[in-house]
Amino acid sequence: VPDASAARAQVADGDLDAALVVGSDGAYTAISKNAMNPTVEGILRGVSSQRALSTALEAKGVDAATLPEPRFETDRTQVTKPDEAQRVTVALIGSVLLIMAIMMGGLMVAVGVVEEKSSRIVELLLSTVRPLHLLWGKILGIGAISLGQIVLIGATAMVAGKVTGLLTLTGTAATVFAAVIAWFLLGFLFFAALYAATGAMVSRQEELNSSSAPLTVLVMAVLYSGTFGIQALDSPFIETLSWIPPFSAVLMPIRIATGDTDPAQVAGTFGLMIVACLIAVWVASRIYRHSILRTGSRIRWREVAGMVTARK
Q: Is residue 76 part of a domain?
A: no
Which strand (E) or helix (H) includes residue 30? Answer: strand 28-31
195 and 212 Cβ atoms separated by less than 8 Å? yes
CA 118 → CA 49, 183, 202, 207, distances in Å? 80, 33, 9, 12
**98 and 18 share one domain:** no
pLDDT tens string 179-191: 878 888 898 899 9
Q: What single-letter amino acid sits at 186?
A: L
**39 and 126 share one domain:** no
Q: Is residue 277 part of a domain?
A: yes
Domain boundary, last residue among 17, 40, 66: 66
Read off φ and ψ for residue 20, nearest 5 degrees: -110, 115
**14 and 117 share one domain:** no
Query: What's the domain range around 36?
Result: 4-66
- Number of domains observed in the structure of the chain: 2
Q: Is residue 79 part of a domain?
A: no
Note the pLDDT of residue 169: 56
CA distance 282 to 109: 17
CA 111 → CA 104, 115, 268, distances in Å? 10, 6, 34
Q: Is residue 247 part of a domain?
A: yes
**36 and 136 share one domain:** no
**21 and 101 share one domain:** no
288 and 134 Cβ atoms separated by less than 8 Å? no
Note the pLDDT of residue 80: 58
**143 and 46 share one domain:** no
- Give every residue of the chain whose pLDDT is below 70, as ranges: 76-87, 90-91, 166-174, 296-302, 304-312
SS (H, E, C) the chain: CCCHHHHHHHHHHCCCCCEEEECCCCCEEEECCCCCCHHHHHHHHHHHHHHHHHHHHHHCCCCHHHCCCCCCCCCCCCCCCCCHHHHHHHHHHHHHHHHHHHHHHHHHHHHHHHHHHHCCHHHHHCCCCCHHHHHHHHHHHHHHHHHHHHHHHHHHHHHHHHHHCCCCCCHHHHHHHHHHHHHHHHHHHHHHHHHHHHHHCCCCHHHHHHHCHHHHHHHHHHHHHHHHHHHHCCCHHHHHHCCCCCCHHHHHHHHHHHCCCCHHHHHHHHHHHHHHHHHHHHHHHHHHHHHCCCCCCCCCHHHHHHHHHCCC
CA distance 212 to 207: 9
R_g (Cα) of the chain, nearest Å: 31
Note the pLDDT of residue 275: 95
**155 and 264 share one domain:** yes
**222 and 91 share one domain:** yes
**228 and 260 share one domain:** yes
pTM of the model: 0.67
**275 and 128 share one domain:** yes
CA distance 45 to 51: 10
Note the pLDDT of residue 243: 92
Q: Is residue 244 part of a domain?
A: yes
Q: Is residue 77 part of a domain?
A: no
**141 and 38 share one domain:** no
**33 and 91 share one domain:** no
